[in-house]
Amino acid sequence: MSLENANLDRGFFQFTRPYTWFSWFFWVVGALVVVGGALTFTAEGVFICAIGFLMVALVSPASLEADLHNVRKNAPQPDDLEEEALKNGYELESWFFGRSSYSPTTDPNDWILPAPGPSTWNQNDRYAPDGDGTPIAEHPSKVGTPQPATFSTFGICMVMFVVMLCFSIGSMMVDQQAAVDSGELLEEENGMRFAPITITVIGLIWLIIGFLQHKRQQQMIDTPTSLVRSVAVGSSELVGQVRPAPEQWINVVVDGNTRRVIPGCVDFKWEYEVYVCRQVTTTDSEGNRTTREECTWRTVRSDKGGVPFMLHDGTGGIRVESNTFKNKQLGNFVKRWTSSHADTLKDHFKTEFAARLFSDGDVRKHRWTAYALRIGNPVYLLGMVKPRSREEMAREHLDGTVGHTAISVHGEDTPGMKANIQRGTELANLGRIRSSAELLIMPVVCVLCGIAMFAVL
């Protein structure tokens, strides 16, 4: 599939299906659960249907996501500066020590259309345009701004989930209240009496989260994207490719181990976690004791950092002072390492001792996860374009006669605009969003169902 064959305006409704085998599996299981629950013709069956609709909704992609995935899969990608260092897929590094590494085989934040590789860049003038000075293939001025469908499979299934869940819980409330009235059940045993307020509160929290996400999406959709060669001083939206500034880049050594290196980074963060398991004993109202194992990932240490970089959109390059941005979204992790042991015997015993001392548990696994914005990656940003000082330009031997060499981008908020950096172009980031209707209508339905359930009491 090519982008010319993909309709970026999805209209009112789009029936979406998974595009990975993992999602397909749960999509089919969810559909079977819906059918199985419907065949029982009971309140419990309605509850089972609700769970099935939830499963289908959670693995159903956004209205544009599957098509953009297919376009990305078929498009040739630029040559990588360190292709072998981030070889995709799973790699077993040591069976004896339980060491392995994994880099995602698909990256939703990567290029969708072909982008210029390092061999085509102007190595002498980082501010100069590429070739004839036209924008890169994935720039919004060429592909436009995608519009998600008002409703998709996700939205319909989530509405069905909320309605059926509330209906089944309402039926259980009626049955329990009838048992209380007849004396078969004590009032304090009526566990469903708090269900209406719980569902209403969940709906309100969901509505607040959806509203904030809606505002962020609308800001991206409504803000026109500037070209580097003509960008003006003030708040701007820019889309382009990460290229090195005079500060070059960082080869990140994750947690100080030279076996774990992420090359060519201009921004990064990593975290080292341990998987701690402990035995938890609970006692029910009748005095029966049960023991279960509870396991969680806990962060031991982390680090982050970055250097300024150039954003190049084909028409020219502009300097980005990335360390001034507080809001950075680096997307999916670029690599993850797991091991049964820590790097050193000292570190291994230290984490084991801490786990036993503070949580009465033991460490089962160790993992290191790295996130990065790398040279050659696509980048989207909202920021404040400001003039550069004469001293700054003198250090790069610039005379300021070319407009975008005399300005740089900073992470300063303005009224109505929150400065941020995101890995991925506007097309890639908007391709995974839900519509405003799906973000706002579903929690409203949840709130209304919770309020309606008060009438059942």
Return per-residue pLDDT of the chain as tens, 457 residues: 556 666 677 778 888 888 888 889 999 999 999 998 888 877 788 888 999 999 999 888 887 777 777 777 776 655 544 454 455 665 655 544 566 777 776 677 888 888 888 888 888 889 999 888 899 988 888 888 778 888 888 888 988 888 888 888 877 777 666 666 666 655 555 556 677 788 888 889 989 988 888 888 888 888 889 999 999 999 999 999 999 999 989 999 998 888 888 988 999 999 999 888 887 777 766 677 777 888 888 888 899 999 999 999 999 999 999 999 999 999 889 999 988 877 766 666 666 666 555 566 777 888 999 999 999 899 999 999 999 998 988 888 888 888 899 999 999 988 878 899 999 888 888 777 888 888 888 888 888 888 887 766 5
Enumerate helices (H) and strands (E) in the chain, giving the number of each: 10, 16
Per-residue pLDDT, 46: 86
Residue spans of the domains in the chain: they are 1-75+149-223+430-457, 82-137+225-416
Rounded to whole angstroms, how far apart are CA atoms 441 and 155? 9
Question: By the 8 A CB rule, do 118 and 28 touch?
Answer: no
* DSSP per-residue letters across 229-263: GGPPSEEEEEEEEEEEBTTB-EEEEGGG-TTSEEE
Per-residue pLDDT, 84: 45
Classify residue 37 as exposed, middle or buried by CB count within 10 Å of its CB (0-12, 13-18, 19+): buried
| Whole-structure pTM value | 0.79
Rounded to the nearest 10 degrees, what angle do helices 43-59 and 153-181 cross at? 150
Per-residue pLDDT, 315: 93
Rounded to whole angstroms, how far apart are CA atoms 344 and 257? 10
Rounded to whole angstroms, how far apart are CA atoms 16 and 112? 19
Q: Residue length, the chain?
A: 457
Question: By the 8 A CB rule, do 126 and 375 touch?
Answer: no
Rounded to whole angstroms, how far apart are CA atoms 210 and 440? 6
Question: By the 8 A CB rule, do 457 and 196 touch?
Answer: yes
392: part of which helix (H) or strand (E)? Answer: helix 390-395
Rounded to whole angstroms, how far apart are CA atoms 423 and 379? 5
Per-residue pLDDT, 339: 85
Rounded to whole angstroms, how far apart are CA atoms 182 and 436? 47
Rounded to whole angstroms, how far apart are CA atoms 272 and 43? 46
